[in-house]
Amino acid sequence: MHEASQNDQVQHEVTLNERGPFVAPRCSCGWYGPARRSRPLARDEAAAHTATARSA
């Protein structure tokens, strides 16, 4: 029987948290990115995290 890895069990739900003029991505798995003034950059970092987590 296949035993699920920890990564298979974790749902990756990323949110962008506003902090004044900054946006910081945070994931339900505990990952977080640096606060950025550039919202598109914060979204791209969050998308990269989600893609990496799914492929691992």
| Residue 9, pLDDT score | 65
| Residue 19, pLDDT score | 92
Q: What is the DSSP code (8-state) at residue 30?
A: S
| Position with higher pLDDT, 21 vs 53 | 21
7-44 per-position pLDDT tens digit? 456 788 999 999 999 999 999 999 999 999 999 999 99
| Residue 2, pLDDT score | 40
Whether pLDDT at 56 is above 80: no
pTM over 0.75: no
- Burial of 46 by CB count in 10 Å (0-12 exposed, 13-18 middle, 19+ buried)? buried
